[in-house]
Structure 1
Amino acid sequence: MRSYGFLLCLPLLGLPAWAESPAVKAEREALEAWFESDTAESSAQINEGKLDFLAISPAGEVIHHHQNKIKITAESLKEGWAQLEQCHDNLDQAAAMQITFRDGYIRDMRVTEHRNIEKAWVDGSSLQLTKVGLDARICLQAQTRALRTQDNGSYVLLNGPYMRKFLDGYYPMRVSMQIEYPPDLLQVATITPNAQAGFEVQQQRGSVGFNALFEGELRTSVQFLPLKPNKISHLSTELHTN
């Protein structure tokens, strides 16, 4: 059974891409193990580290807002690739910044919009920024290898870790996620973490998403169950042969 993973990492401020410290290397290796582990086990381990949801936004503080739209299609169920639109508002001011993705799980990435940023360009699986100013915004589009297929025939979308960290401290951050999926082929089974103050979940036919306000490191999991398995198999065969 083929498996897929998807990872979004927030910027490492002022560090070149090759400057991987032992701590960063350990975190990367831990994330690789998380993606490759059984979903039932990894879901139980999600957010065991520092994570505090915030019921209200801190007064007077401008908060980095990370926004994602992912579109899952019938073809995504076969190949794992889905459409991604992502924007960042209120980025921290910095001379240099990078937004990194897991190698091999992002393609056709391009910048669609940027404001109050001197230069923004794609470098492999990362987005490099220079001279990020006040009220900065950047948006991108890409194809993301978003879905992981489980042995029981279900699908899971893993995202994270989302964080806004400087030195040893975490700062408030807002993350919005909207996922579109074919409602005649999939239904939502579970969402982790559970809905609570600071983690609002929205669902309707063909769409699921969340708005999160937190400090710390947030990892999320959305599991889908297939409807009409025979139809999915037939679609996969057609997509493969056409």
Structure 2
Amino acid sequence: MVPESRLASGQLFLALVSLALLPFSVQAMDPDDPDYDPFEDDSLWGETVSPDQTQTTSPEIKFLTEEPEQVPHHHQNQITLSSSSLEDGWVDLRQCHSDIAPIRRMVLVYNEERIDELQVESTTNILQAEALGDRVDLRGVGEDSEVCITARMRVIEHEGEGVYKMENGPFVRRFLDGYFPMRVTMAVNWGDLDLRLEETHPEAQEGFDVVESDHGIILDTLFEGELRTQVRLRNAE
């Protein structure tokens, strides 16, 4: 099957099919069939991961403090806020996926209502990458590959009294009933906007790092299961 990643309200869902990013399977299917589901097409995946290598079968989040033997898929996000972001909720996104398991085809799928101006910025060791509306179609993903995209994303919600909420997720790397290690790094840059971090969920803990500055924050985590993040910012007065 074809790995597919879904971004809902600023999130990206990675399922894993023989993958490091999305799900895999084992039967040949016809992509021209109107009922074709890439997640069910095992012929699209390589032999990078087997279900026996999974660490957990529970979607409950588990933060890891040691790197697994196989380098995990790395999902990196750079989110830039402007003054208009606090009014309309739209931010600039640059997103990169690296250490993707070799695979014939992978599709990154985003929430159509919350994504705009989706473009492929660059690729490494990928034969073809094409942005089509709310998705990016990758073909011929090789070793040591990387794809970076840019887009506008609606992810900021004003809660009133100078508080703004940003939610992302679920981030997940899954195959059948198993969950595999994945690294997510999220840098939120608000520049000279008069903001400060009020709280994050999950909160900073071993395996989930939160680095703060006057101009932004960085979240970095290695985990298994399903990760949902929430960041609250407040006008600094």
Q: 2:225 & 2:82 partners in 1: Cα distance?
A: 32
Q: Which has the higher helix share?
A: 1
Amino acid in structure 2 at the alignment position of 1:50: E
Amino acid in structure 2 at the alignment position of 1:158: E
Aligned length: 198
1:98 to 2:107 alignment: yes
Question: Match for residue 217 of structure 1?
Answer: 226
Q: 2:218 & 2:124 partners in 1: Cα distance?
A: 26
Q: 1:140 & 1:184 partners in 2: Cα distance?
A: 25
CA 1:112–1:64: 2 relative to 1, 3 Å: same
1:172 to 2:181 alignment: yes
Question: Match for residue 38 of structure 1?
Answer: none
Q: 1:143 & 1:126 partners in 2: Cα distance?
A: 13
Amino acid in structure 1 at the alignment position of 2:67: S
1:63 to 2:72 alignment: yes
CA 1:147–1:185: 2 relative to 1, 3 Å: same
**2:197 counterpart SS class:** strand
Q: 1:18 & 1:73 partners in 2: Cα distance?
A: 41
Q: Percent identity?
A: 34
Amino acid in structure 2 at the alignment position of 1:210: L
Matches within 5 A, 1:1-242: 5-10=9-14, 11-13=21-23, 19=37, 49-58=59-68, 60-227=69-236
Q: CA RMSD in A?
A: 2.4
CA 1:138–1:20: 2 relative to 1, 3 Å: closer
Offset of residue 94 of structure 1: 1.6
Offset of residue 152 of structure 1: 4.6
**1:78 counterpart SS class:** helix
Unaligned runs of 5+ in 2: 1-7, 15-20, 26-30, 40-57
**1:150 counterpart SS class:** strand
CA contact (8 A) 1:5 1:147 kept: no
CA contact (8 A) 2:157 2:164 kept: yes
Q: Deviations over 1:166-220 (max 9, x none)?
A: 1211111111110011454322111010111111110010111111001111110
**2:112 counterpart SS class:** coil
Amino acid in structure 2 at the alignment position of 1:80: G
Q: 2:36 & 2:187 partners in 1: Cα distance?
A: 32
- Give the TM-score of the pair, scaled to structure 2: 0.76
Q: 1:189 & 1:99 partners in 2: Cα distance?
A: 31
CA contact (8 A) 1:81 1:146 kept: yes
